[in-house]
């Protein structure tokens, strides 16, 4: 029996009419089962793509199509348990984030069990993203792969292009369903089956051809006749969901749609949501970094110990990378794709807007070491989060200034680069801009650590206020 690897992430999807600038955005925290799991940010060239994919976890072997596209990815620095590409944008501006580990139930697993040597999170980006030219094509390709090879775990993932966002959930070992996110909507998806109301005969949904027949033949639907709620049919509603999953959806929806009052443990929080304003990159990052601020459940707050430990936060020590895959519609296609990326725990890191139409990524992000190395941002962010966690109130203002000043500077550089690249495009220039952004992020984070050290040193336990 192989050693399965589990992750527990949080996904946010924002349609093009729900975003502040008309872009589609699919975002996710990658949360490892370990607190330390170094990540890399790379470009995979067509010639480096395997002809036959071999999974290290399940050992499944999959022949791959010819003529793959170039794409970005964020694999593990240590590839001993597989690639784990996780997130990227290919050369025709199709984005993919994979995966959100979700829940299931014994009813569907009794009908369609998991496949021990099937596909899983380790594999999905590598076998799908290089071969699709639209978000819909991503759904179709993955659906066929799932039906042929099966899966050994329940997963959800998202595809986007400049026009559409599709959210995909696996069902049992071989089945699946996907839904197009309305352009005006947003989605917060924790580690549970998230799709609720589902219309099979709609241009905005896709699923296994026999899904309705499966539900009817095996008496899987607990709801009244005529209702089709996939979360009720294939998902879970457990005590763990009440404390681990539902509260994360509740807090994200509370942030974007505060006028709607909901219960954080409610199993029926809506899947498709509508914000009371246009959503920005910064707001997505806030939610992906959040720990129930301004509620009694904040781990750093003033609630009782029981309240502060009641719910699993979105920002957590096991965040190993955060990405927002943005496809912009107000710039030329050649510079549309931006992979906003931050490594390490989100409480003390910052996003960097990397252009994805490039041949290579900055060495500080592509060559992350598997053990501590002060030269790589992943390790700097882990250090900042550890120091900040010990005295959050003391360091949070320093971090807030660091994040705002960094984001303002990054955005300014991006705006100037957009103008230049629109006049005269070259991948060399975008790579140069990415390099400048990476170095600036590194320098700013070193400075942040210095300020944290200076402020914290005078408050160490081993001090004596009477001088010599």
Whole-angstrom distance, CA of residue 26 vs CA of residue 325: 5
| Partners of residue 273 on adjacent β-strands | 186
Q: Which of 9, 207, 322, 382 is catalytic?
A: 9
> In 331-422, which ranges are E strands?
337-343, 352-355
Q: What is the C-alpha R_g of the chain?
A: 22
Which of 339, 307, 350, 348 minimizes the C-alpha distance to 434?
Answer: 339
How many residues are present in the chain? 468
| Partners of residue 158 on adjacent β-strands | 97, 167
Structural contact between residues 260 and 249, judged by C-beta atoms closer than 8 angstroms: no
State the distance between the two ends of the chain, measured CA to CA, in whole angstroms: 64
Which of 339, 337, 335, 336 minimizes the C-alpha distance to 321?
Answer: 339
Structural contact between residues 75 and 42, judged by C-beta atoms closer than 8 angstroms: yes
Please classify residue 80 by burial: count the beta carbons closer than 10 Å to its beta carbon, then call 0-12 exposed, 13-18 middle and 19+ buried. Answer: exposed
Whole-angstrom distance, CA of residue 61 vs CA of residue 53: 6
Q: Express the helix, strand and coil content of the chain in percent, nearest 5 each.
A: 35, 20, 45
Q: How many CB atoms lie within 10 A of CB 332?
A: 12
Structural contact between residues 412 and 379, judged by C-beta atoms closer than 8 angstroms: no
What is the longest distance spanned by two Cα atoms in the chain?
A: 84
Residue 96, SS3 per DSSP = strand
Residue 382 bears catalytic tag: no
The residues annotated with a catalytic role in the active site are: 9
């Amino acid at each position: 029996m192989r050693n399965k690897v589990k992750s527990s992430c949080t996904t946010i999807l924002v349609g093009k009419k729900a975003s502040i600038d008309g872009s589609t955005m699919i975002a996710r925290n990658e949360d490892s089962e370990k607190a330390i799991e170094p990540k890399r940010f790379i470009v995979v060239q067509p010639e480096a793509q395997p002809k036959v994919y071999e999974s290290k976890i399940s050992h499944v072997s999959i022949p791959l199509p010819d003529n793959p596209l170039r794409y970005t990815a964020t694999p593990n620095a240590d590839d001993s348990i597989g690639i784990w590409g996780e997130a990227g944008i290919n050369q025709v501006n199709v984005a993919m984030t994979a995966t959100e580990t979700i829940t299931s139930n014994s009813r569907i697993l009794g009908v369609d069990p998991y496949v021990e040597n099937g596909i899983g999170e380790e594999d999905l980006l590598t076998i799908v993203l290089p071969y699709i030219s639209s978000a819909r094509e991503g759904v179709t390709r993955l659906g066929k792969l799932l039906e042929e090879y099966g899966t050994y775990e329940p997963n959800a993932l998202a595809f986007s292009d400049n026009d559409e966002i599709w959210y995909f959930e696996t069902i049992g070992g071989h089945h699946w369903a996907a839904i197009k996110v309305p352009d005006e909507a947003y989605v917060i998806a924790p580690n549970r089956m998230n799709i609720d109301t589902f219309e099979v005969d709609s241009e905005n949904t896709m699923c296994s051809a026999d899904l309705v027949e499966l539900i009817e033949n095996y008496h899987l639907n607990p709801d009244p006749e005529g209702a089709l709620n996939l979360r009720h049919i294939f998902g879970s509603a457990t005590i763990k969901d009440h404390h681990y999953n539902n509260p994360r959806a509740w807090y994200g929806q509370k942030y974007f749609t505060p006028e709607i009052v909901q219960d954080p443990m409610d199993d029926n929080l809506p899947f498709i949501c509508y914000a009371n304003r246009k959503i920005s990159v910064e707001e997505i990052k806030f939610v992906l970094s959040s720990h129930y601020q301004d509620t009694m459940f904040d781990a750093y707050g003033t609630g009782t110990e029981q309240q502060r430990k009641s719910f699993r936060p979105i920002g957590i020590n096991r965040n190993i990378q955060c990405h927002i895959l943005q496809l912009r519609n107000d710039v030329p296609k050649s510079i549309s794709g931006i992979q906003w990326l931050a490594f390490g725990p989100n409480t003390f890191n910052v996003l960097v807007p990397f252009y994805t139409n490039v041949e290579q990524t900055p060495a500080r992000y592509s060559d992350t070491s598997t053990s501590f190395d002060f030269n790589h941002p992943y390790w700097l962010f882990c250090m900042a989060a550890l120091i900040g966690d010990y005295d959050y109130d003391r360091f949070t203002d320093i971090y807030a200034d660091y994040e705002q000043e960094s984001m303002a500077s990054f955005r300014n550089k991006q705006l100037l680069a957009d103008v230049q690249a629109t006049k005269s495009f070259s991948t060399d220039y975008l790579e140069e801009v990415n390099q400048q952004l990476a170095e600036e992020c590194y320098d700013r984070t070193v400075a942040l650590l210095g300020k944290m050290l200076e402020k914290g040193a005078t408050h160490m336990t081993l001090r004596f206020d009477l001088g010599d």
